[in-house]
Structure 1
Amino acid sequence: MNRVVVTQPDVTLVLDWDGVIRDASVSAALAKDGLDGWVGRHWTDTVGEPAGDQVRRMVEDARSRGVSAFLQVTQRFPSGIEVPIEYTTVRLGAQAGLMAVGKSLQAVQELQSRLVAAQQAREQDYWKLREIEMRSRLLFDASSEAVLIVAAGDLRVIEANPAAIRELGMAPGWDFAQEVAPRDRNAFRELLARAREHGRTPGVLMHIGAAATPWLLRVSMMAREPEPVLLIQLAPAMPEPGRGLPRALPPRTDELLEGLPDGFVVADAEGRVRRANRAFLELVQCATQTAVLGEPLARWLATPGRDAAVLMRTLNEHGEVRLFKTTVTGLLGTESEVEISATASTAGGPPAIGLLVRDIGRRPQDDLGDLHAAISQVLRDMGRMPLPVLVRNTAALVERARIDQALRRAGGNRTAAADALGLSRQSLYAKLERYGMHDPRDSDMDAAG
């Protein structure tokens, strides 16, 4: 036998045709006070001010259509409490009146309030986490120790702080295991196994980089999605026992290379930048060294037939390159003519390439460049004209070029140019007329001299 479960609405109002309450009942869970005070009052008088229009609309819809849509209003009870109620109004037949049936939304409202509170708490936790991350980032960047974050799986560098970039020349994407000297790699693998088992390790002496520089290396395991990472801290190690202290400290090579007026770059065997000084950064229009680390040289050397591929092939064949002319294209599109001298080395570690990049576009122009070009043009006519004519034309070209050079060096002052040429001013004027170099609009600059 099926049981029919009958539930009482939270609020039931019996209304006359005009919307005046004739009878009212409420569930015990909603209010304990009687609703006698509502009888004889218009329904709109028992709701909040903004809900009056919704009540009138439900009454009109029930009279005209027989049933109204569900609308939410704020119901005021005699006890003073206000509860959100969702009502629908139906017509009882003919002119018998109307009935409004309401369901309390108080539980939904409380749930919404809890949801909003949870969202606010979550947002506060998010900003606290961001603040912690920001502080950690500041400490990471400001640390005087070289610090690397390395993927636990393939041991490739994920992040490197400025000290690590400066001291080790490492950038994201590099294989840290390849930087460990071969004699220390077994010990390094044991160190990683201990970090995975215990979470962290004490400091262990390792030799890092092409120069096999001794570093005190500490490893810590950190949780991160999608896989854990290793935090590697490197501090300069003291001299090894038996070697003693050096008698005199040599100049810091890092500072000297950083201060070079020409660009200096260290690249790996694949042509990816591992280190760059300030002059190279200015040449390629990058603000920080981090922006170029790990990038291929081909990103900037793009002259057809003289690009990075030709440069690398020449280095592989001969071990060095001298005065290799090409064009460097900066991040903002500026092109600069450069000469590159480079050498390759495999001593003490993985292959490395050192490149000196000189901007030849900044060189002062050769005063005789135009003269050489003009004489070359005359020499092309050799054999096609008599020798006296060839000599006379060549002499005229030399004289014209020398006058033009003297005028440029004198800043246009013809008197000073005539003195430098050993001519009188009248003779200079005559030669200017002969070679078509005189401009009547030019004002003589003798006074300025």
Structure 2
Amino acid sequence: MAEFHGPRADVTLLLDMDGVIREATLSPNMASENVDAWLGRPWSEIVDDASEKIERIMQDTKRTGISAFRQITQRFPSGLELPMEFTTVLLGGRAGMLAIGKNLQAVAELQARLISAQQTIERDYWKLREIETRYRLVIEDSNEAVLLTKVSDLRIIEANRTATSALGASGRRRDNLVGREFLQEIPPKDRELVELMLRRVRDQGKAPGIVVHLGEEAAPWMLRGSLMTSETAPMFLLQMAPIGKAVQPGPVPDDPEALIDNLPDAVISIDVTGAIKRANRAFLELVEIGSKEALIGEKLSRWLTRPGADLSVLISNVERHGAVRLLSTTIQGELGTETEVEISAAAYGLDSHRRIGLVLRNIARRLSPNGEHDNLRVALAALNESVGKTPLRKLVKSTVEVVEQHYVRAALELANGNRTSAAEILGLSRQSLYAKLDRYNLSQPEESDDEETEKGS
């Protein structure tokens, strides 16, 4: 056969018109493989689950003279399996076909390393977002007044609620304080001293604290400053602590509401439309929002990954049964963090005063070796090992079946075995649910209320 001088061919096969290998040549970097056993065998017999691709390659070659590049897993007599990319060319006079293959193992390894690096970067990004959220929550609840101002013009960039109250802005929105010049918020008699301190901070990075008088009562506060660098421009970090009696950001009553506000699990109250009426600190952290004022009146569906399904199912089941336990869903925070949660809910009140109380528990870090979610992950991880060895269509079909079984079981558990309710949760007709139960051998005796529903229908 004529020697092939194409770019970096690792495997070259001379085939007859029926796809039987007549000659095989390997590149020097694969010289350790002995492929004499290939001679006289159909090419489709020495590839891993890719016989259909081989047939399509040869049909394309016979019809157009050259086939498109296709990826297959080539199996060698030594047992080695390599991902390879092949194209096939028709020889003159239809004397046969020449299959030219390139080893993609290095590319696959680079892709795997790239994916691993991307996942590491993504994890680091979300850790940074979590640190930023916690930083904002700590600053917001601090008893000290904290402000960030530009060095260039001393305009306020950020201010916590204690600073807003100390600077006499309690009667206006905090957004009106942001953007104002810091010196204009200081009494005229103290401005020159503050300017001197800030000039020293700008030149030396820090300066001794000074006393300023704020508010209508001219209460004394200790002002400290430090210089911060950022990507855009340097900033002043200003901290003001009251001298004498500490000023609390807000009342802390000794009542059940204070207890709920300090619970580690998120607790909220919504009306029948899903609008939030009350929320504790844990919920603020979960949805990554700094103040309760920004939450009140917002719909819970804003942070649900499936707002139309999850919220409607939750409210309808609470109205029907009075309570819901352990509804699994995902909350997406304002900074993009997704958290798996379980929701338990109950209704109270009547008419326009009717409310639904919810407890949202973060289950993302729950250790459950025998749990359904881990079973799902294990099953999907097993499918990942088939990538490159199994056709994509078969992989997708197997993945869909695994996921369908998982969620059908979850819906049945949520509905306590009631198939009618499970079908409603999944958005399926009862007939479709029965078909899936039979397909996955999940059939079980129906609950009595399900039978009554069928009789009534």
Could you tell me the TM-score, scaled by structure 2's length?
A: 0.49
1 or 2 for the larger relative contact order (CA 8 Å, sep ≥6)?
Answer: 2
Question: Larger Cα Rg: Structure 1 or Structure 2?
Answer: 1
